[in-house]
Structure 1
Amino acid sequence: MGAGCCKEEAIDFDGEIELSHFHLLRSVGKGAFGKVRVVQHKRTKEIYALKYINKTKCIRMRAIENIIQERRLLEEVEFPLICNLRYAFQDDENLFMVLDLMLGGDLRFHLERAGPMKEEVVRFYVAELALALDALHSRRIIHRDLKPDNVLLDEHGHAHLTDFNIAVYYSPAKPLLSIAGSMAYMAPEVLLRKGYFESVDWWSLGVVMFELLFGKRPFRGKSNDLLKNSILRDPLPFPENAREILCERDIKKRLGCTPDGLNGFKKHPWFEGIEWDKLVTKEATPPFQPDSKRANFDATHELEELLMEDNPLKAKKRAQTTPETELSNVLIQSTVVAFFVLRMIQK
């Protein structure tokens, strides 16, 4: 008696995708533009990562254009070494993106847990990331925020590029001028504000490579000014046999930016033995496999969701329009229109 009151409502899986189609599992991440938790599709049983951001917060942070841009980029990109978008939807409070789940954790987590990595491990990650960057650049997309935090491992140990919050399209005829990204990984051409293209991603890859090898970044400073000065002027503290892979200030000599492009990477002696074709298909065996019996992420994210979240995530029916939700929708829609009008003008 009374058992029927707890019966779950029937779900229309053939209708528009919504949060009720997923089981909400543990929280695994938090960033400037939203939170991430593991979800399972109730019908297919597939496991994904759910990235979500509160609409009101999105407007307050003036992040609408970033979210629109990220979704649009991910809808156009499909590559084995990128965290690909599988679904995108919204409810009255949040914007959602359902992405490939990577159970192996990010490189920042592993770097802090185990310290500097062996050369063969770093070589493998750098090669996979080079392929991911080349896939983006072939579509005229710059990531602009490559760092260990934004590289996720799958359960087998393959590296995947994620977090396209500040990724952007570019035109070879019009260099970008805006400063974007994490300063410690910014290329000199970004800091000098003289215009830049996809070369900045190859610089960032060099900084990541150095950090994974030595457990510290190559350029440091106690203030932004000192850090900037270090990036622009300090001697390059790199092994001679891999200097041009790491951080070459002369863009014309920087690996990845030469006329050979990705082939320059493939031919470099440091990558001898890498089976590039097998990396793309994930047939290559990673030199490190994350421990599946341990949580490969910071457990405090889950505690925060349980203990400190005033409005925990749960599936809700779309409510009738209120003045507040109407304002939110108008602001988002007007930004979308303005964004695409601007894109048409630029073309």
Structure 2
Amino acid sequence: MPGVGAWNTAPGANMGANHSHKSPVFDEDEDVNFDHFQILRAIGKGSFGKVCIVQKRDTKKMYAMKYMNKQKCIERDEVRNVFRELQVMQGLEHPFLVNLWYSFQDEEDMFMVVDLLLGGDLRYHLQQNVQFKEDTVKLYVCELALALCYLQCCHIVHRDIKPDNILLDEHAPEVFQSFIDGGPGYSYPVDWWSLGITAYELLRGWRPYDIHSSTAVDDIINMFRGERVHYSSTWSKGMVSLLRRLLDKDPESRLSTIGDIQSLPYLADVNWDAVLEKAVPPGFVPNKGRLNCDPTFELEEMILESRPLHKKKKRLAKSKSRDATKDSSPLPAHVQQCLETVRQEFIIFNREK
């Protein structure tokens, strides 16, 4: 599922928005579709999906729109995962989650329209050498703890915590242990471990364990067993105590509920209602004068993408014209069948209805 928002940001510059004073009128009974949005710019991509900033033409509200090519999803056997993500996100709504607003489809793609956070993700700011102060990290921990508490109440373990989703690309030791024959499973404490990893890296600039995608599972387990985490002498005793308890290798004794967190003396001065209402000013405010993401996504979409989103309407019209004249190369029968199944089973969603 998409990531947990760690701060509240307002939209910055008007990035190519439509300046017309007349808002288009759409039929209230009509499902929201691609034509209801103006594409502004590309801001990210994954293995089979991309993300762009869009503006809804009637309300002028701005969102992030993730779109996934149906054929690629079928080829990579990812359709079930996309449907599961949609199903989960439709039932969630929280101030510190990236919430789903609309989902729809066309002949080529599946679309998910979600909250837009223009502040950029924590990984981006770490790469920009931002020095996060302890009070800022303390607030992030509180915000993220509230989000994890909400997910826990919904019986959801995040598991896919990574920099793009605000939290760090790191896993808990019991996740790796589960790869070993007879190893225990894992549950909610894995997300609280990742919260500790995130806070540590924000403060120090690097992770407490030197783990990469190429590191063998056995090496990782040995690292967790043998290596001790080093805490900076410049951090307060309260912060060190919080990190130690979040990074406890034993999930049974790790801080793993909002009650555990709120009972710490270090967080006794936190007004949790104000945090939930986003009424506590953050110590770090991203630059509102520019987009806080890698600009190469936009260049790739404009120059390298064979089927750019902004030319979709013209491309689909041409495709229909070719179909009418029987002058198109048919897809393999099994792919066509899968595409029809996706079309029939896709879950259309509108949070406003």
Partner-residue secondary structure (3-state), 1:195: coil
The match for 2:280 among 265, 280, 284 is 284
> What is the 5 A alignment of 1:25-174?
25-151=40-166
Cα 1:238–1:62, aligned 2, differ >3 Å: closer, same or farther? Answer: farther
Q: How far off its partner does 1:20 sit?
A: 0.7
- Conservation of the 8 A alpha-carbon contact between 1:210 and 1:246: no
1:92-136 CA-to-partner distances (Å, cap 9, x unmatched) read 110100000001111111111134411111111111011101101
The match for 2:170 among 185, 193, 209 is 185
Partner-residue secondary structure (3-state), 1:273: coil
- Conservation of the 8 A alpha-carbon contact between 2:175 and 2:190: yes
The match for 1:237 among 227, 230, 238 is 230
1:216-250 CA-to-partner distances (Å, cap 9, x unmatched) read 01111464123443234321324642343431111
Q: How far off its partner does 1:53 sit?
A: 0.8
Q: How far off its partner does 1:142 sit?
A: 1.0
- Conservation of the 8 A alpha-carbon contact between 1:87 and 1:98: yes
The match for 2:304 among 298, 303, 308 is 308
Cα 1:62–1:116, aligned 2, differ >3 Å: closer, same or farther? Answer: farther
- Aligned partner letter, 1:233: G
Matched, 1:224 2:215: yes
Q: How far off its partner does 1:145 sit?
A: 1.9
For 1:22 and 1:61, the matched residues in 2 are separated by 28
Partner-residue secondary structure (3-state), 1:71: helix
For 2:343 and 2:33, the matched residues in 1 are separated by 20
Partner-residue secondary structure (3-state), 1:40: strand
1:36-94 CA-to-partner distances (Å, cap 9, x unmatched) read 10000000100000001111111122211211111111100011110100000011110
- Aligned partner letter, 2:248: E
Cα 1:52–1:60, aligned 2, differ >3 Å: closer, same or farther? Answer: same
- Aligned partner letter, 2:306: D
Q: How far off its partner does 1:273 sit?
A: 2.7
Q: Which moved more, 1:133-142 or 1:264-273?
A: 264-273
- Conservation of the 8 A alpha-carbon contact between 1:244 and 1:253: no
RMSD: 2.6
For 1:127 and 1:33, the matched residues in 2 are separated by 33
Partner-residue secondary structure (3-state), 1:74: helix
TM-score normalised according to structure 1 size: 0.78
- Conservation of the 8 A alpha-carbon contact between 1:87 and 1:97: yes
The match for 2:197 among 199, 202, 207 is 207
For 1:334 and 1:227, the matched residues in 2 are separated by 44
Partner-residue secondary structure (3-state), 1:301: helix
- Conservation of the 8 A alpha-carbon contact between 1:238 and 1:246: no
- Conservation of the 8 A alpha-carbon contact between 2:133 and 2:283: no
Q: How far off its partner does 1:269 sit?
A: 2.7
For 1:148 and 1:272, the matched residues in 2 are separated by 29
Matched, 1:329 2:329: no
> Any stretches of 5+ residues in structure 2 without a counterpart?
1-23, 179-183, 233-239, 348-353
Q: How far off its partner does 1:202 sit?
A: 0.7
For 2:185 and 2:74, the matched residues in 1 are separated by 29
- Aligned partner letter, 2:271: E
- Conservation of the 8 A alpha-carbon contact between 1:11 and 1:21: no
State the identity %: 39
> Any stretches of 5+ residues in structure 1 without a counterpart?
1-9, 152-160, 162-181, 338-347
For 1:216 and 1:335, the matched residues in 2 are separated by 43
- Aligned partner letter, 1:197: S
Of structures 1 and 2, the one with the larger relative CO (CA 8 A, separation 6+) is 2
Matched length = 294
**1:248 match:** 248
- Aligned partner letter, 2:185: G
**1:19 match:** 34
Q: How far off its partner does 1:25 sit?
A: 0.5
For 1:113 and 1:48, the matched residues in 2 are separated by 25
For 1:335 and 1:185, the matched residues in 2 are separated by 34
1:142-171 CA-to-partner distances (Å, cap 9, x unmatched) read 1112233212xxxxxxxxx7xxxxxxxxxx
Partner-residue secondary structure (3-state), 2:208: coil
1:247-304 CA-to-partner distances (Å, cap 9, x unmatched) read 1111121112xxxx21210121332432211111112211121111122111111111
For 1:84 and 1:326, the matched residues in 2 are separated by 32
For 1:267 and 1:290, the matched residues in 2 are separated by 31
